[in-house]
Structure 1
Amino acid sequence: MKPKPGFDETPTTGPLPSESQPTEPEASDISGLAEYSPHFTGHRERLRERFRTGGGEALPDYELLELVLFRAVPRADVKPLAKKLVERFGSFAEAIAAPPARLREIKGVGEAITTEFKLIGAAVERVTRAQMRARPVLSSWSAVIAHCRASMAYADREQFRVLFLDKRNQLILDEVQQSGTVDHTPVYPREVVKRALEVSASAIILVHNHPSGDPTPSKADIQMTKTIIDVAKPLGIEVHDHIIVGKDGHASLKGLRLI
């Protein structure tokens, strides 16, 4: 039989083979994986059961990725691909957050898989934003950090976003203001403050990421923050903090006493 044209393809119709009725493995030119392998259906159910009983903490990163890949690739052994994704990107979180173009560099990853990964990323961001909205931001700082890390920590380009707060420090709007390169994002202080006035914000929290992973603030980060504070203060808008996130952690300019 001819090799399959691609791993991430819509499967042909027909019943799945069972462990009690093994069929001849079919050659695949993707990652050396065999479709219709007699073991993979039982493996999938065993892995799902481990997740149901032990949760995500009971599984290594590649097995969590397998569970995600099951949805996009219904009929193949996806363990080798899951391991390759972790090897390439470093972790479950980094694989899920990787840009589609980089994901597709890996043989076997196509539209179905990239869509599934982006769906999970969007779901996590929406959940963390909802948790942040549940209470005044300043009394739920861990939720703020969790949302910022989920949204930006693994991005491959710098982003600058602003959390706009009302007079009770409840979130009004979470908005990406600018996207830049791997090590620079243009920020226009007057535009930031103008947007705060447009949405009737009484306070703001500045957030940006360092794709290098190291969240240590640069001199430019500190100076830009002070400029925004100088523009915002006469208009009655308080800058609570500037948070920098990266895969290695986060930094707060206020916590570091830099503002």
Structure 2
Amino acid sequence: MAIGKTPVEDKPDHRHGHRQRLRERFLKAGPDGLADYELLELILFLAIPRRDVKPLAKELISHFGSYAGVLSAETAMLTAYPGLGETAVAAIKSVQASALHLAKAEMASRPVLSNWQAVIGYLQGAMAHLPREQFRVLLLDKKNALLSDELLSDGTVDETAVYPREIVRRALSANASALILVHNHPSGDPAPSRADIVMTKEVLQTCKTVGIHVHDHIIIGKYGQTSFREQGLI
């Protein structure tokens, strides 16, 4: 680097007042008044104080596919992206964590079966943009209130190992009366595979032997989900 040359990450934002105007628009109109890249700009403002971050915000959304895709991207993938330092990555992931905390609190505020949209909203936020397949189980009490959200397996891009006995062990340990199976399809297509259907039947049989009811198996995709119960598969 030439002597006296300012590093790229330290170049000031020459568009005077842009940050203040964007903040004022956000505070007045809320998130619906801003484009996705502008919301991402607001996050990056916190971590990159002296740089025009609009180009970076647009590049990130293009690279990861959407605003949600940026927030959901794995920490290592964000850290490897040019122009993002540790502070910026922490700011992005803290916003995702806050959103998931709020969604989980809403999901847990009422019995799961009467709060279905909140359940789906939480699961979409937590799993829709993962680059690999995850399997988790929502454990419920006798009134179908959420006891815990258990991550059972974190697999590869197209499969994850699921063991019915482990599901039962977790349920019994939590004194759960019922559960909901959940996994994601990184391909984006939430349609169940033959293996998904066979595995679900095995879990149903194993849970039945100990009196644990399986309400549903939900497959999460990037733009939707499939309910085994709605499809008549349970």
Query: How would you bin the TM-score normalised by the shorter chain?
Result: over 0.9
Other-structure match for 2:164? 189
Match of 2:142 among 151, 167, 176: 167
Gaps of 5+ in 2: none
Report the CA distance between 1:61 and its aligned residue.
1.0
Q: Report matched runs for 1:44-83 at 5 Å.
A: 44-83=19-58
Is 1:101 the equivalent of 2:76? Answer: yes
- Tell me if the contact between 2:164 and 2:206 (Cα under 8 Å) persists in the aligned partners: yes
2 CA distance for matches of 1:56 and 1:193? 42
> Residue 12 of structure 2 corresponds to which residue in structure 1?
36
Q: What are the Cα deviations for residues 73-117 of structure 1, in whole angstroms up to 9, with x where unaligned?
A: 111110010010011111110011111222233210121111111
Identical positions, percent: 53
- State the alpha-carbon separation in 1 of the partners of residues 142 and 21 from structure 2: 51
Question: In 2, Cα distance between the equivalents of 1:225 and 1:167?
Answer: 22
* Residue identity matched to 1:119: S
Partner of 1:92: 67
Counterpart of 1:77 in structure 2: which amino acid?
D
Q: CA separation in 1, counterparts of 2:82 and 2:186?
A: 25
The match for 1:2 is 5
Q: Does 1:238 align with 2:213?
A: yes
Structure 1 residues 15-62: Cα deviation after superposition (integer angstroms, max 9, x where no partner): xxxxxxxxxxxxx6xxxxxx234324x000111111112111121111
Cα distance in 2 between the residues matched to 1:200 and 1:59: 45
| Residue 113 (structure 2) aligned to one of 138, 143, 148 | 138
Q: CA deviation at 1:159?
A: 0.6
Q: Which AA in structure 1 matches 2:230? A: G
Which TM-score applies when normalising by structure 2? 0.95
Q: Which has the larger radius of gyration?
A: 1
Distance 2:115 2:42 in 1: 31
Distance 1:254 1:151 in 2: 21
Normalising by structure 1, what TM-score? 0.86
Q: Number of paired residues?
A: 231
Distance in 1 between the 2:196 and 2:13 partners?
54
Structure 1 runs (4+) greater than 6 angstroms displaced: none
Structure 1 CA distance for aligned equivalents of residues 228 and 123 of structure 2: 15
Which residue identity is paired with 2:207? A
Matched residue, 1:251? 226
Q: Take 1:126 and 1:47, find their aligned partners in 2: how far apart are those partners?
A: 26
Equivalent position to 2:174, from 194, 199, 211: 199
Comparing 116-125 and 188-197, the one that deviates more? 116-125
User: Take 1:178 and 1:36, find their aligned partners in 2: how far apart are those partners?
Assistant: 45
Q: Which runs of 5 or more residues in structure 1 are unaligned?
A: 8-27, 29-34
State how far apart, in whole Å, the 1-side matches of 2:135 and 2:13 are. Answer: 47
C-alpha distance in 1 between matches for 2:186 and 2:211: 33
Task: Report if aligned partners of 2:107, 2:115 keep a CA contact under 8 Å in 1.
Answer: yes
Relative to structure 1, the CA distance from residue 236 to residue 48 in structure 2 (aligned partners, 3 Å threshold; closer, same or farther) is same
Q: Quote the Cα distance in structure 2 between the aligned partners of 1:44 and 1:251.
A: 41
CA distance in 2 between partners of 1:219 and 1:94 (Å): 28
